[in-house]
Amino acid sequence: MKKLSILVIALALVLVAAGCGKKNDESGASAGNDSGADVVIKVGTDASYAPMESMDKDKIVGFDVDFLDAVMKEAGLSYKLENAGWDPLFIELDKGDKSAYQAGISAVSITDERKQSYDFSIPYFESTNMILVKEDSPIQNALDLKDKKVAVQGATTAEELMKGIMGDANTNLKRFDSNTLALMELQNNGVDAVVADSAVVQEYVKNNPDKKFKAITDKTNFVPEYYGIIFPKGSDLKAKLDPAIEKVRASDEYKEMYKKWIGVEPDTSDLVNQK
């Protein structure tokens, strides 16, 4: 997911004061702190990115949710997952104290820019951006989008990629607050294409067979990116979770949850070599 910006501080203060979203049930084993009480790690997400994370009534579900649960069990840690929203997640991580989120999992792409401000786990998911167009579209690859109207979710790697192809000031690059709104714009013939993460595009095509859309892969212009669990700088959780992530991502359990949520067998040949 890939977003690169954070809300202005004034809005941040309002959001933090108001509290954040729904809470998922705690899961995993307990670990003691110096006082002997159980340590519960607070983890934030933005549950609006199916199939990675979304709300099912009052419960957070998705690939990231199942993966986090498996990793925390493997590491022997208790946790509580909360639906914070995207920008509040980063604001809480920036606090760097025990009252805030100690980790985040929300299809967060590992980028050099983000690594300047945060620590990341080893990668747990390989993704790439895809192009969604109508079945009769002549578009075949990303370069064909240069003179077209294209919708993206703002502040994502999709936006950055399309800015590189179309130009930052190009008014045909339409930025939306969510992929849902971008997809609606394509449905309503407001744009020629949507660019978004492969999991999002494939999930949409699968769930909307009557819409007559097709997904286009362009590995030449859209290089793979990797998701990681994100931590405040200097967090000791990375050292605790990396071994568990390495074990889970190489397991049959990983393949099962991938097939459950993504719908296909995973190719982890590159992923398992990522450190």
Residue 34: pLDDT band with limits 50, 70, 90: very low
**pLDDT at position 61 over 60:** yes
Give percent of the chain above pLDDT 70. 87
> Residue 198: what pLDDT?
92
- Averaged over 199-227, what is the pLDDT? 93
> Residue 122: what pLDDT?
98
Residues 145-202 pLDDT 10s: 999 999 999 888 899 999 999 999 999 999 998 888 999 999 999 999 999 999 999 9
Q: How far apart are the first and last CA of the chain?
A: 20
What is the pTM (predicted TM-score) of this model? 0.78
Residue 215 tokens, joined: 């997904």
**Summary mean pLDDT of the chain:** 87
> Residue 33: what pLDDT?
39
The closest alpha carbon to 175, from 149, 205, 142, belongs to 149
Q: In which element (H, E) is residue 245 found?
A: helix 237-249
Q: Which domains does the chain have, with CATH numbers?
A: 9-126+226-273 (3.40.190.10), 129-217 (3.40.190.10)
Q: In what order do the strands lie in the sheet with 129-134?
A: 173-176, 150-153, 193-197, 129-134, 213-217
Residue 18: pLDDT band with limits 50, 70, 90: very low
> Can you spell out the DSSP letters for 169-231?
T-TTEEEESSHHHHHHHHHTTS-SEEEEEHHHHHHHHHH-GGG-EEEEE-TTTS--EEE--EE
Task: Tell me which of 263 and 77 has the higher pLDDT.
Answer: 77
> Residue 264: what pLDDT?
86
What residues have CB less than 8 Å from 2, skipping those under 6 apart?
Answer: 107, 108, 109, 111, 156, 157, 158, 197, 225
Task: Tell me which of 35 and 68 has the higher pLDDT.
Answer: 68
